[in-house]
Amino acid sequence: MAGRTTVNIYKVGEKQYSGVKIVTILAESVEFTLTKTTMPIRYSQQDAPDPKTYTLDLRIAPVIAYEITGYLTGTHQVITTEAVSSGTTVQVYVSTALGFNAGDTITIVSPDGTVSESTTLEAAFPSGKYLVISNLNNSYPAGSLITLTSRTISNPKADLIAIIKDLGVANLVYGSETIHIQFNKASIKETPSSKEQDEMYEVKLSVFETEDLK
């Protein structure tokens, strides 16, 4: 899994389901482009001739389009956003604390894979984006990977499809940034059995964010 980036997509259900769904993608690439589109401010009225549209009647709205390719994983993962020292009742800041609960068993691994350990969570604070770890034997730099090992997401493909169907708008956590996104296209296919166990589905997503979604 070297060289991959952890991308989390989550949503509180509004239409297709209730509660929170969150899926993790081990992204092999995250590409984004800035495009510009024009949109008329004035619209024609019913049963009235269309008004003339001039340059000043148009606004140019930036659209950031993302192409994400990678693998859906059956275990939730996040990245630490700050360095953390060993100790007891340690506060660890992460890309998102959603999906974690007190009592969960987690594994933390340094970015280079040389230091790792399993431990237990005392608490999770999604709004503050941090976890409280009962005991940490080693120190870890920012960019370390935390994996939820005591519970698995039984069907990440079904969860991702549910998120996409539920109005098509969700939240994406990439690095230390959280943005509101809207899905454009999604491709999900099962990987061959020779793949690693946690690589159940290859995925390619086209998403975009606009000023209107912020």
**What CATH number is attached to the domain comprising 98?**
2.40.30
57/92 same-domain check: no
Q: Are residues 85 and 69 in the same domain?
A: no
Q: What whole-number distance in Å separates Cα of residue 31 and Cα of residue 48?
A: 44
Max mean pLDDT range (6-20, 124-138, 155-169, 170-184)? 124-138
User: SS3 for 183?
Assistant: strand
| Distance separating alpha carbons of residues 203 and 171, to the nearest angstrom | 17
Query: For 128-204, where are the alpha helices, taking DSSP H only?
Result: 156-165
Same-domain status, 119 and 133: yes
| One domain, residues 144 and 202 | no
Query: Among 108, 125, 148, which residue terminates a domain?
Result: 148
Domain count of the fold of the chain: 2
Residue 206 and residue 199: Cα distance in Å, rounded? 20
Residues 159 and 209 in one domain: yes
Clarify whether residues 88 and 133 are in a common domain.
yes
Q: Within this chain, do residues 82 and 137 fall inside the same structural domain, yes or no?
A: yes
More confident residue, 61 or 127: 127
**Count of residues for the chain?**
214
Domain that holds residue 54: 5-74+153-213
- Report DSSP state, residue 49: P
Residue 163 predicted with pLDDT over 80: yes
- Looking at 148, 164, 185, the residue that finishes a domain is 148
Give the residue from 96, 126, 148 where a domain finishes. Answer: 148
Same domain, yes or no, for 125 and 178? no
Is 140 found in the same domain as 99?
Answer: yes
- State the pLDDT at residue 187: 93
| Same domain, residue pair 84 and 65 | no
Q: Are residues 144 and 81 in the same domain?
A: yes
What pLDDT does residue 168 have?
84
| Per-residue pLDDT tens digits for 53-80 | 444 445 555 567 889 999 988 889 999 9
- 210 band by pLDDT with thresholds 50, 70 and 90: low
Count CB atoms within 10 A of the CB of residue 185.
10
Q: Are residues 82 and 144 in the same domain?
A: yes
Q: pLDDT > 70: what percent of the chain?
A: 77
To the nearest whole number, what is the mean pLDDT of the chain? 82
